Amino acid sequence: MSSSTIPAPFVSSEIPHWPGLPANEIHGVLGAVFGNYAVATPNARIMVIPIVGGERSLILRKDFRFGTDDPICHPQLYHRGNRNLACMMAPSVEMDVNHCFRPWQDSWWTECPGLGGIGRMDPDMRRTLSQQSKAYYDKAIKQHCEDIRMGRYPHIKRVDEFDTQKLKDDIFLLKKYWAFCGKPGTLQDVKLRFVNAQRQELNIRSRVDDQLIYAPLLTPTNSTPRLCDHRRMGAVTTNFGIACMLHTAGLPVWYVYQAKYVDRTKFRRFMSDDEVERINGCIEIPPFVNQMGECRRVPYLDWLTGGQDFITRTAVDNAVVLYKGPPHLPERYSAMSSLLGRFTCGWKEEPIQPGFGSPSHHVEHDFSLPESEPPAMPDQPEYDFDFSYAASASPPRNVEVEDHAPPPPMSSSSLPPPAEPVPSSSSLSLLGNSASSSNLKRRLPDSNTSLSAPHCSTKKPRIGKNKSNSGTTIRTNQPAARSRWDTVDAPFMPTPVSGWYRMMQALGKKTNLNPRDTPTFRGVKVVHSWSVLPDAAMLANIKNPETRARYLLTFCRLLPLLEFNVEMLDDPSVSPEKFFIHQKKWRVMLGLGKDGKDNSHAATVRAQIEDQLAALLVEADNAPRVDLRKINAQPARWMGEELAPANSSEMPHPSTSTTREILKFICEVNFRVELLTLDYFLFDFSAPGTTPPTPVERRQEVFQLISYFSASALPEWINDGDGFASDDMRERFDALCGLSTVMEQWTLHPLCCLRPGSLVLVQRAQCQALLEKDQLNDGKVNSFEELVAEHYISSYALIFARPPTVPHHSRGSEP
């Protein structure tokens, strides 16, 4: 159904006669007249604005919500396709849900001096709020699954009908948004992430409650009204049959009909014109225990709001009208989606128009009936399309009116068959002088193949005179550097995971790569082989303790900006020079303050780096320029511990354990970003017969497959108990399985894609069979680890002409 065929809600003359109400209150317990519309409710305690008639002007409010047009702030028109919105928790101060409505307070954000307006959310506040959210999806969801097994929800036969992949994806996004709240950003960036986390949890709760509680109740056959749950949002409707269904289900409902047929004597209470005017003109939506227009900044809420509006209706400065049109069309919610789900605020602004600074009714509402009234209709059709994605913090892939389910994550079974046979030799031969080395160039599509993938390019790499035998690299006249295959023997360097370490040593002896090689895989530039964080081995190998201390402390001071840089890297093909930095520049950047001469070479390079970092912030709400000379104005902190005070000339060296933690963090971030970048160039975004994900969506698929990444390239804390470096056999096996699944989908190079029958997949199947029998042991996992590591290291070196960063422990013992 297209937007042009969706009929507008018809406001009828049908007078309500509610089941279960006495004769003197038969029209409702509360009523009001808004212009030509009468609004009646049989069960709600408060009156709301009817979202019908005329045109709506959708604008963003100062709390990064959308006022009465927002499903998490105010009841919306009921549609069968998004009935979960009626089941949503209403604005409340109750302890189990108030974190979903608590307004953002600017005092929670602290700016980092010299970093161009980049700062962080208070970690204690983020932890408190995210733990409240975690209590819901960790405990409540598990309890619901147990209740289904016990037969307490007879309309749901199996747990997998409830605990679906869609629910898992939604919970994953919720974890991601709360994690993003702790990442660096401008004040507006962090505020947006905070509201998106609240929105995502409310959407999850509404879908869960709709499926478990209200699905069997929202039927026309249900005739006995249940006790109304005033904690729910409820809905507005112009169809009396739908209104009765919501009433009998125990959800608040507001029925809209023509005002000329209203009988005020048939209501328990009917609101005066002054009360209605106060509702229209109020600038705050309070908790639903209070009537809109009757209070503002209720004193008892100061502990929760910090003296702000609970939910504001005041527009942001320089607001743009996102949508202007009828309230029943899905484009209104799609316009909201265009601003939601972002890591940074990147929307356009324009001078605020007259009246848009006020939420008065002439801006948002038009309660006049059409000039020519359509004939009376016995029933209003139900519109069967789904707004749940448009109303959430996750924008839909396709903005259409039809109810499309999102395509499932790509799996190995959905990939096109390989064009070449699987090489029978070990992946050790990928980088050696083997018979298969002539096949190392990327498989090029034929002339009829579409090149619509975001990274596809018809430009061929330049081949130098000194081309290598394998065809993967070209020689340059750059000076030789320390080989990344070499073992770093330094007391501060964390040790690599043993299986990965052994494969690095084995492949390093067999490969013909050297530090002067550059990548030739189509689309890959030399800059992609640089790093988003400095090389941990470079820091560990510094012999001078004072220099090493300076580098480490400067790194900690720059870390908020560097983390912001990492999280902004969604598409490696777009301006990679903004994100990847050469090791020579890292040395200059981390050695700031060593040479203060303005005419020195270091000062020139520093200015270049400032320009590079400032370019990142163009997307960050036009933040001010980065000034690296001011970074000393903030203390050097690591995981909440102060390593050096602000404005200090002293350079105390971090402890050995802290230094290893810092270097382990660097290794882990570089490993994750390198994996994501490799996946970007090997994953086929234009595979025929599929709905291709965007680079951002593919990034999220990888995060879900390797679950310990927790939806981010940045680890939340550093320890030896996570993922590939875990001492727990099961956790390590899960991470290896996730990576092997990712590598199954690398179809753009025949030697990088794990095909059916490959040794890695055979070993994985054997381990999974043993796990089901509770017979899996460390020996089997170690063998599987070496196979996965071998294939990953070979693939990375093949594409980027250098070895990758591998997972490390933070401890310093020998591997």
* Residue 719 pLDDT: 66
How many structural domains are present in the chain? 2
pLDDT at 574 over 90: no
- Residue ending a domain, choose from 364, 387, 420: 364
- Give CA–CA dist 243/42, Å, rounded: 9
* Residue 364 pLDDT: 54
Residue 756 covered by a domain: yes
Regarding whether 734 and 593 lie in a shared domain, the answer is: yes
Q: How confident is the model at residue 501 (pLDDT cuts 50, 70, 90)?
A: very high
Q: Which residues pair with 32 in a beta bridge?
A: 39
Q: Which residue has the higher pLDDT, 329 or 807?
A: 807
SS3 sequence of 419-472: CCCCCCCCHHHHCCCCHHHHHCCCCCCCCCCCCCCCCCCCCCCCCCCCECCCCC
Q: Which domain holds residue 156?
A: 3-364
Asked whether the beta carbons of 611 and 581 are under 8 A apart, the reply is no
Q: Which of 420-429, 548-557, 577-586, 786-795 has the lowest mean pLDDT?
A: 420-429
Q: What amino acid is encoded at 209 in this protein?
A: D
- Give CA–CA dist 303/315, Å, rounded: 24
Regarding whether 618 and 746 lie in a shared domain, the answer is: yes
Residue 686 covered by a domain: yes
Q: Which of 265-279, 481-495, 527-541 has the lowest mean pLDDT?
A: 481-495
- Residue ending a domain, choose from 364, 397, 425: 364
What three-state secondary structure class fits 808? strand
196-244 pLDDT, tens digit each: 999 999 999 999 999 999 999 988 776 789 999 999 999 999 999 999 9
* Residue 5 pLDDT: 56
Q: Mean pLDDT across the stretch 427-433?
A: 46
Regarding whether 324 and 193 lie in a shared domain, the answer is: yes
What three-state secondary structure class fits 568? helix
Regarding whether 128 and 271 lie in a shared domain, the answer is: yes
Residue 302 covered by a domain: yes
SS3 sequence of 28-85: ECEEEEECCEEEEECCCCCCCCCCCCCCEEECCECCCCCHHHCCCCCCEECCHHHHHH
* Residue 372 pLDDT: 39
Q: Nearest Cα to 725, choosing from 709, 704, 703?
A: 709
Regarding whether 360 and 496 lie in a shared domain, the answer is: no
Regarding whether 492 and 359 lie in a shared domain, the answer is: no
Residue 416 covered by a domain: no
> Which range among 273-277, 322-326, 473-477, 717-721 has the greatest average pLDDT?
273-277
Asked whether the beta carbons of 356 and 59 are under 8 A apart, the reply is yes
* The two structure tokens encoding residue 578: 């903004």
Residue 407 covered by a domain: no
Regarding whether 351 and 489 lie in a shared domain, the answer is: no
Q: Which residue has the higher pLDDT, 520 or 8?
A: 520
337-381 pLDDT, tens digit each: 877 877 777 655 544 444 444 443 334 555 655 443 444 433 443
Residue 403 covered by a domain: no
Q: What amino acid is encoded at 708 in this protein?
A: Y
Q: Mean pLDDT across the stretch 559-577?
A: 86
Regarding whether 488 and 359 lie in a shared domain, the answer is: no
Q: How confident is the model at residue 670 (pLDDT cuts 50, 70, 90)?
A: very high
Regarding whether 350 and 489 lie in a shared domain, the answer is: no
H or E segment and range at residue 657: helix 656-682
Q: What amino acid is encoded at 298 in this protein?
A: V
Q: Say what percent of the chain tops pLDDT 70.
A: 77
Contacts of 223-228 with C-beta under 8 Å, sequence gap 24+, read: 223/19, 223/248, 224/19, 224/20, 224/248, 225/19, 225/20, 225/42, 225/43, 225/250, 226/250, 228/43, 228/44, 228/252
- Residue ending a domain, choose from 328, 346, 364: 364
**Residue 501: other Cβ atoms inside 10 A:** 18
Q: Mean pLDDT across the stretch 718-740?
A: 88
Q: How confident is the model at residue 599 (pLDDT cuts 50, 70, 90)?
A: low
Regarding whether 222 and 89 lie in a shared domain, the answer is: yes
* Residue 776 pLDDT: 92
* Residue 304 pLDDT: 85
* Residue 9 pLDDT: 79
Regarding whether 491 and 353 lie in a shared domain, the answer is: no
What mean pLDDT is reported for the chain? 80
Residue 124 covered by a domain: yes
pLDDT at 627 over 60: yes
Residue 397 covered by a domain: no
- Give CA–CA dist 749/682, Å, rounded: 7
What three-state secondary structure class fits 259? helix
What three-state secondary structure class fits 804? coil
Q: Which residue has the higher pLDDT, 44 or 463?
A: 44
- Give CA–CA dist 211/207, Å, rounded: 6
